[in-house]
Amino acid sequence: MKRAFSIIVTLALLAWLAADSRWKMVGDAFASITPSAFTAVTLALFVTYVLRALRVCDEFRDEVNGRFGACLRVILIHNAMINVVPFRGGETAFPLLLRQVFGISIVRAGASLLWFRLQDAFVVGVLACLVWPGLHPALRAAGIAALIAAAWYLPRWARAPHDWAGRGSIVSKLGKLRDIFTEATGRSRYGWWWTVANWTLKLAVQGWLLAMLLGTSFQTAFPGAVGAEAAAILPVQG
């Protein structure tokens, strides 16, 4: 009964969304994109998934043993779950998939995922500071410097010797998590390069697509694409 009710509510919501007249505006905007441009956008976005899969292969190279196809499948399923499950709940798919496919512990995979997300946040933050319209040059420079300094300091703080193991049960457990996080920050050989390449390409493509849809310039659309990705850290997708 509950499942039937859920299906009915879902179908009603889909019907309500489909009945909105603004979908015609969306359709007209996409109709203005040429097949060649659509193909180029699709291929470029697929390359971003390849770059993310390479980052996973680099991070877990000892366990992956060159199985790039399996890494790519993990990334694709993980991304699909993020888009479907609300409140960023789809993030849990990443450590679960790594355990299922490669036998990597959930704790270690979770620590690597945290470091991945921090790297993403630092790179997107720097790009946002670079292109944010109307931002004073001094604030722009200060924001970039602060983000780069934090990205440089965080792994070094994690690797610094500590005595958390003897400070009590809670602090001791935090110390173990810190040690696992330390391993995650130091395993990837080219992690920052994969991250910068992925976000540069992804945001450039999104900016180009947004410019075509809105009939505006890339210089106007690109900050919008960066802002949308920066807002993705919120627990509600949209």
**Domain range list for the chain:** 34-231
Question: Which of 114, 67, 111 minimizes the C-alpha distance to 88?
Answer: 114
Question: Which of 184, 192, 124, 112 minimizes the C-alpha distance to 155?
Answer: 184
Question: Which of 194, 196, 198 minimizes the C-alpha distance to 57?
Answer: 194
Chain segment 30-71, per-residue pLDDT in tens: 777 888 999 999 999 999 999 999 999 999 998 999 899 999
The SS3 assignment for 65 reads coil
The highest-confidence range among 11-25, 118-132, 178-192, 224-238, by mean pLDDT, is 118-132
> What whole-number distance in Å separates Cα of residue 121 and Cα of residue 52?
15
User: Residue written as tokens 């969306």?
Assistant: 26
> What whole-number distance in Å separates Cα of residue 104 and Cα of residue 111?
11
Whether the pTM exceeds 0.85: the reply is no
Does the structure show a pLDDT above 70 at 83? yes
Does the structure show a pLDDT above 60 at 238? no
